[in-house]
Amino acid sequence: MVLGFNAYIHDTAAALIHEGKLVAFGEEERFSRVKHTTEFPIRAIRFVLEKAGASINDVDDVAFYWDPRCGVGRRVVQTLVNLPGSARQLFRMQLGNFGNMRRVEQVFREKMAFRGRFHHINHYEAHAAGTFYPSPFDDALILIVDGNGEIATTWFGTGEGTRIRKFGDVLYPHSLGLLYCTVTEYLGFRQNCDEGKVMGLSAYGERRYLEEFRRMVRYEGGGRFRLDLSYFDFHRSRRHWHSKKWIHSFGPPRRKDEALTEYHKDVAYAAQTVLEENVMAMVRDLTAATGKRRLVFGGGVALNCVLNGKLVNSGLIDVLYVPPPAYDAGAAWGAALKVFHDAQPDAARDRVPSPYQGPEYSDAEIETALHNAGAMYERPGDIARAAAECLAGGLIVGRFDGRLEIGPRALGHRSILADPRPPDMKDKLNARVKHRESFRPFGPSVLESRADELFDTGGRRSPYMLEAFPVRQAWYERLPAVTHVDGTARIQTVREEDDPAYHALLSAFDALTGVPCVVNTSFNVMGEPIVNTPAEAIACFLSTGIDVCAIGPFLAKKAT
């Protein structure tokens, strides 16, 4: 039994594997209710142990997703080269972060009274393990593109059987992830949090700044690139991530309360396009060098579904796998997998485990929460049919069922659902329910057997809502609530064998309307994590424009 975890940087989490199989996965934000938390994941650790019916004494090994010894010398040199500007970052960030990572074993042992083996795993090796080992492939190209780890920002190698081999990396401060973070901050959003907003905004932009952005990144071949660091300040004082040269090129940064203009959209377009061009160039060279056309893609950049959709349609690869927690939370799982497979290289891999690995609640617990909230509810004979009828009638439905999803995308178990046909549904959801920017799109859940009829998937599965596909012309006018301005949709394909209850709801909606998909967005409001408990789901339902809540076998309604 191996417990993996991450801490002190965004999206902390814990994962427990037993004989190589994922037993439970918990993201600390779902328990603490602080989105993208950096806290030590004590609640997540306690959850995964409880779910397994285990105590800390049953754990053989603990794996942490960071090796504080890696890259120290290079970081010191970089700090000295960039003095005096780097002094602020040195004392406020690097030394504090290094101290946390160096003390983490002691902290874990004290908090958990653990006496077993403790392993520091390189951040990118954890990502690589958490990306390749759960994939369906016997052999594949592995590409990890992130902000940064101990010293690397990008990592590439191959996986064969249970052996992972690195053959290259790109070192800090040259980072596509940090380029995107810089744009996120510049546009008035939170870096390491709101990069998805930049991706959504990019579809509204034009080419005005594209050549300037192309000058920022020089692709050198063989999977490697370099930034023009004169545009950036994240490696120096980090008061802002961009430099004075950036402002001279693009103007002052957007204030959070400032309206988005065409030039903000054009900056987002340029950033997205340059990211896509450089990742495509990397994949082109790496597939040519390795002969491998199966790609497993991890790191925070792998959550960019527009990029992923273009990768699968590029002709550069045959198939793509992105794990649902591709970001740092997933490196907790990857650290545990690396320790296990290093110790037992002949053990079978746990391929494509269910993404539903979080907490679940009994019908009795759900009904108690409904009583405590004073909610009106009933127990229909067929909750899937009842929810589908509400959706077909134009109602917005909160759905809470089974175990919580892992990763940032709601996959039907903690979701807000709606009819994709009304032209005003997107605006209604953004304004009445999610309380977020009007430009942000919604994705659909679709019956996998019908997906290629509605979307140009090429027959590919997309079970984790991490790829965007073109909406077919015949359906373009019929699905306005899930069709983005660029004509694509970020889809989740649903199979009966993976999730029979959610598949039944989609099938019932199809039978009622002739449309085999629904709008699916996460069950939360902007700035909050996805709901975890029944009480949180009911509170969100009662305080927003959600009309009804299908929660377990119950259908909750609001007083009229």
Query: How far is residue 153's CA from residue 75's CA, in Å, rounded to a whole number?
Result: 13
CB 520 within 8 A of CB 465: yes
Taking alpha carbons only, the member of 3, 2, 12 closest to residue 330 is 12
Is 242 among the residues known to form the active site? no
CB 367 within 8 A of CB 32: no
The verdict on whether omega for the bond into residue 84 sits within 30 degrees of 0, i.e. cis, is: yes
For residue 62, what is the DSSP state? E
- Write the DSSP assignment of 415-426 as a string of letters: EEEE-S--TTHH
Choice among 10, 120, 127, 503 that is catalytic: 10
The verdict on whether omega for the bond into residue 325 sits within 30 degrees of 0, i.e. cis, is: no
For residue 430, what is the DSSP state? I
SS3 category, 45: helix
Backbone phi and psi for residue 189, each to the nearest 5 degrees, phi listed first: -105, 175
Which positions ≥6 away from 2 have C-beta within 8 Å?
A: 16, 17, 59, 60, 61, 62, 63, 336, 337, 339, 340
Q: How far from 136 is each of 27, 132, 179, 193, 446, CA to CA, in Å?
A: 24, 8, 31, 29, 22
CB 316 within 8 A of CB 284: yes
SS3 category, 7: coil
Backbone phi and psi for residue 493, each to the nearest 5 degrees, phi listed first: -90, 140
Strand order of the sheet with strand 397-400? 376-378, 554-557, 548-551, 397-400, 414-418, 517-522, 443-447, 492-494
Query: How far is residue 223's CA from residue 226's CA, in Å, rounded to a whole number?
Result: 11
Q: Catalytic residues, which ones? A: 10
